[in-house]
Structure 1
Amino acid sequence: MPLEIVRNDITKMDVDAIVNAANSELHMGGGVCGAIFRAAGALELQEACNEIGHCEVGESVWTDGFQLQAKTIIHTVGPIWRGGSHDEEKLLHSCYVHSLETATSLNCESIAFPLISSGVYGYPKEQALQVAISAIHEFLMDHEMLVYLVVFDKQSFGFSEKLFNSIHQYIDENYVEEHNLNYSRNRAELQQEIQSQYHFEEESLHEIKRKSLVDVLGQIDESFSERLFYYIDEKGMTDVATYKKANLDRRLFSKIRNSPDYTPLKKTAIAFAIALELDLDETKDLLEKAGYTLSQSSKFDVIIQYFIKEENYNIYEINEALFAFDQLLLGA
């Protein structure tokens, strides 16, 4: 299953487990930790934590979820930022790995993380985000689980300012609002175009009539599924590698595999194009089979075009950008 970045209150996530950014003593703290304690029932949760007693930095322990929708709380202790030269990255990576391993041992199918250590512990948000996504991505390549990375607001999200500015400039240069499109052609030009189109369609109909039904049916385009699996074979990819790189659920991929006429959502079709590292023409070709296209009047589409032109097919980085610009995410 995929990774999804969501803006929400982590205590309200309807998942099997949520992760608490805890302190080593497992006492009720501030920020995310305090919010989780209050939502779960501070007295009950503190009593359960007291029975465990302690958790090392980079490790994880678990308790019941008590009054939360999540049945389990996984407590992990992130590192305090000391400039980056005290194994902070290794320890933060370990927080995610151990939490995911704990969730696996508890047979959890879904889990929600905060951006660990990025609050009062001072870990730079952009770097904290990259560590989180790297660790979760590594885990998902070998496991099936729905993983949420939950941020409370945009200030809690650490997207690269340099990349944001680059994408913003690209949008400014390429995004065209629909109401600003130029329809200033004169009436004669429009009439000529309509007339030409009419003659073309009339000739096309005469051409079709001259063909047998078998000939016409033979011209029907292949389905999205057929073109997708053509590209998977052409790129030398396996099914598993494809749906994992596309940040998609195995069950959805199986549905597409077993339903030749399946029409995916646009964001799903684009996720496959990114996973297969299709160029812009190939991407448009795949989208066309599902009845979609890329438009200069859609910020979502323009951002996708930016990454394809840059030959950056990291779907997690693309989703970070889409999230930063308030767009739908790929996959998931």
Structure 2
Amino acid sequence: MTVLVTGATGFVGSHVLEALAQRPDVKVIAACRDRHRLIPGFQGEVRVGDLRDADYRARVLDDVDIVCHAAAWTSLWGHAQESRTLYLEPTLGLLDAAVARGIQRLVNVSTTSAAAPERSHDANSRGIPRRFWPHLGNVIAIEDRMRELAGGTTMVNLRLGIFAGQRYALSVLPILIPRLKTHLVPYVAGGRTSLPIVDGRDVGEAFALAATAPGLSGYEAFNIVGPEVPRTREVIELLHDEFGYPKPHFSVPFALAYPFSWLMEKLDLFVPWEPLVTRSIVHLLEEVNVSNVEASKRLGYRPRVSWREAVRAQVREMAAREIRPMRMARPIA
């Protein structure tokens, strides 16, 4: 079995490479733009190129059985055109190419917040686009296209929780943590909603299982989170108790958090820094009520890394790696 991993140098892709490397019956091919950023020790084949290039999208699928599509340009607010050009269009092109080439299965990255808060408990539910977050709309458009194309190529959509852990990527934690230092960030709804953190190692294992598990067909979707799901308040208390970050001094309901975030976004036009908070961040704090029940039953997914371990590892890496706070959109290249 030959598995291609796109976005192999990113948070998701690098962990998928590690997980698949543990399976002796799998040949792993890494697809990326810069081979020098691959995890140390990777010995497999590397196919260098850019998924925006239609010719590369066709070539990269040569002699491939299964695709783990982990390439994703990300933005937590605005950047509608960039999200379309750098993420939506290349991914739709890859889906079409995979079907045309007869790829057996394609596994995709999505988010547990795609249908939040109304229907997120069901990973098969259709996503709910939000006008305030163009990138989420593109994530949902990709899910919908997977449904349309599913058939000869099995389409597996993994709605992942909040990323955490080593080699961390753009997500809630690297945006939230520096802002806690301002003492201006409130709890939303008292911090009572769940924060479905998932460590990169568990993400990698979930992808490896979704790529190799028998009995999948058509369009399949699974929520993927850690072994236990904390409340937002619990996560912030850990950051306070173990790393000294300030806790919020007040709380606001979601009904106020959204208009306040809208105001912060509008003020961005007049200030040199990014908004304190955006509506997309508030949306990610909405209750999702997700679990691993279906992934456990159908894929054999058993997450091993606690949210506490994942957060600790990420905060330590942030202290060593970040000179300035992470921006709310990936660099454009």
TM-score by length of 2: 0.32
- Greater Rg by CA: 1
Q: Report which of the two has the higher share of helix.
A: 1
Higher strand share: 2
Identify the structure with bigger relative contact order (alpha carbons < 8 Å, sequence gap 6+).
2
TM-score (normalizing by structure 1): 0.32
